[in-house]
Amino acid sequence: MCGICGSVAIGSLAVEPDLVQRMTSALRHRGPDECGIYTDTGVGLGHARLSIIDLTGGGQPMFTEDRSVGITFNGEIFNYLELREELIRKGHKFRNRSDTEVILHLYQEEGERCVERFNGQWAFAIWDVTRKRLFLSRDRFGIRPLFYTQTANSFLFASEIKALQACPEVECALDLHALDQIFTFWVTLPPRTAFRNIWQLPPGHCLLLEGGKVRVWEYWRLEYAPVTEETEGGQECLREELLALLLDATRIRLRADVPVGAYLSGGIDSTVTTALAKQMVGERLRTFSVSFDDPEFDESAYQQEASDFLATQHSDVHCSYDDIARVFPEVVWHAEQPIIRTAPAPLYLLSELVRKSGFKVVLTGEGADETLGGYDIYKEAKIRRFWGRNPASAWRPLLLKRLYPYMKAIQRQSPSYLKSFFCVTTKDLVNPFFSHLTRWELTARLKVFFSEDVHAEMRKSPLIEELERTLPRGFLSWAPFNQAEYLEAMYLLPGYILSSQGDRMAMAHAVEGRYPFLDVRVVEFAAKLPPRLKMKVLDQKYLLKEAARGLIPESIRKRHKQPYRAPDGKCFFGRPGSYADELLSLETIKRDGIFDPQTVAALVAKFRSGRPTSVKDDMALVGVLSTQILLERFMNRPEARGISRSCPERGSSVCLQ
């Protein structure tokens, strides 16, 4: 796992090595083990390496033996050994044992279509010296980030936006349309980012820069069978196939020349992943987790039970309100976008623990909820549809009490409030976004905190129509359950779960996350399953639970879904004179102009008074504060980005052609 960057000059201009050095330096937290720079006429490639496979021979940028093709690569190709053997049989000769060299040779063999053969998580840039063209690719789910921009003189790409902003010609300004998206969907819609004129390569896409022209195309998309089609095979066969696929997905994700640990949250997903890894790891497996002072969020009892059952060596980082407040500015700096939850902060602390424990790689359980029917939003949609088909029923809306049992604020509400909040209209039932309307409407209420100038700008953007244009052609023919899964898997998963909570928090401390549930074979198998095997009545992840019988503790296999959460707004008002006081002050809010000073002041006063706060209040406070931190770290004080002018001397190499 690494940080990559580069620049291609427009026209006959040269690329300054100093620019590539500054860009690479901005990524050193992602790859502290080695720094590599390559420059030639019109092109520069940079690489900050986290060495995991072929520790001595996998340095980058890497070139083929004839130096006709070079690469800077972030990620892992888990099926690289099988691809390597295939390429050797075709006459290819390898100089090292890295998966990076496999990419180069497969590109020589199959061109841009090589990405269709990869099972892994990647973002890479290939410079084709002979053809003078740049080829970028990002993995199917966007596990690894890749951003790009253009100036008058160059095309720039990097693993993180701050590396692009090491170039003085790159604008550093907040994109208000992106802010509108975040305060509706929690994420930006690719290719947009939180920064104006800086773009992300969407998951499952490639980009080709040739002759000064850019072409972007999709090479993979998640597809579900039409609602009329049934999956072949009985439940028992499907259970066995799922378990076999997960076992092999875990096996190949243990490929590393360094120790591999695992996150253990206390839920079924991470416990299954850990149990499968334990079967293949001879020594005592190390597991890591987060615990909380606040019992509403703490799952340490389940974590310890899973560790005892699986006989792992377990460590946890205990997270208080003050801990979250302390690291939150760094969390936003690494996330590079506003966030409306503090949940990434404990994961930032967790990756710090992992790194201090001597580990660079961890297995995690992300992806199971999105693809195997785990989220409560699926259950919510099912209950609301059931109620909506008979709105006059007196007992159907009582099922709303079955939703979100772990959220005290929801459980305290009266039946009449729940009926009003989760209301279903005839128009809603035929809306392709039915499953997510309640979430989006709640989040969009946060826009009341924006200033009038920002409101005026946002009125120009029809967000739902914009999202609708990105949907695949077959979306309307899928079962409603699959439609909901798609929206989670292709938007929230890459844009928030794998980014703000995933790659960015882990790589802040140079830790690589690996996700067996996001193996392409597992995902495509799950997409063919009928919804009834993902949620049986209201029993979530039904087939996965069946596959896990005897593999994990019964109490964890049967426990109700409790998604990972962390304390929010109350974290920031424990001590006077904090950065939150300054950034949320009337003067600062008015100066920056994004939010309405009086409305924000009323929200802050509510938290300071200790009065009861709602989910909306928490999201608003965190959203406003994270936006203010982003402005402060990137726009108001660019020196706070921490970009130095050169790479550290240790482990660095510079190749000037």
Q: Enumerate helices (H) and strands (E) in the chain, giving the number of each.
A: 27, 20
- Pairing of β 260-263 and β 361-363: parallel
| Strand arrangement of the beta sheet that strand 286-292 belongs to | 313-319, 286-292, 260-263, 361-363, 512-514
Residues 6+ apart with CB under 8 A from 309: 552, 553
Residue 35's DSSP bridge partners are 48, 652
The yes-or-no answer on residue 319 being catalytic is: no
Q: Residue 483: which of 522, 432, 518 has the closest Cα?
A: 432
Exposed e or buried b per residue across 191-223, where buried means at least 16 C-beta atoms within 10 angstroms of its C-beta? ebbbbeebbbbbbbbbbbbeeeeeeeeeebebe
Q: DSSP letter string over 418-438? A: HHHHT---HHHHT-TTHHHHH
Side chain identity, residue 45: L
The single residue of 2, 5, 319, 571 carrying the catalytic annotation is: 2
H/E element, 385: helix 376-388
Beta strands in 159-300 (DSSP E): 199-200, 205-210, 213-218, 260-263, 286-292
Residue count of the chain: 657
The CB-side HSE value for 652 (13 A sphere, CA atoms) comes to 14
Say which residue the tokens 């790194």 belong to: 355
**Vertex 334: Cα angle to 185 and 99 (nearest 5):** 100
Side chain identity, residue 657: Q
Do 50 and 360 contact (CB within 8 A), yes or no?
yes
Tokens of 27: 């990524």
Alpha helices in 212-367 (DSSP H): 235-252, 268-280, 300-310, 321-335, 344-356
| Dist. CA 239–CA 158, nearest whole Å | 41
Side chain identity, residue 481: F
Side chain identity, residue 275: A
Say which residue the tokens 């890894």 belong to: 277
33 phi and psi angles, rounded to 5 deg: -80, -30
| Dist. CA 103–CA 38, nearest whole Å | 18
Do 203 and 140 contact (CB within 8 A), yes or no?
yes
Do 385 and 542 contact (CB within 8 A), yes or no?
no
The SS3 assignment for 620 reads: helix
Is the peptide bond between 191 and the residue preceding it cis, with omega within 30 degrees of 0?
yes
What DSSP character marks residue 241?
Answer: H
Which residues are marked as active site?
2
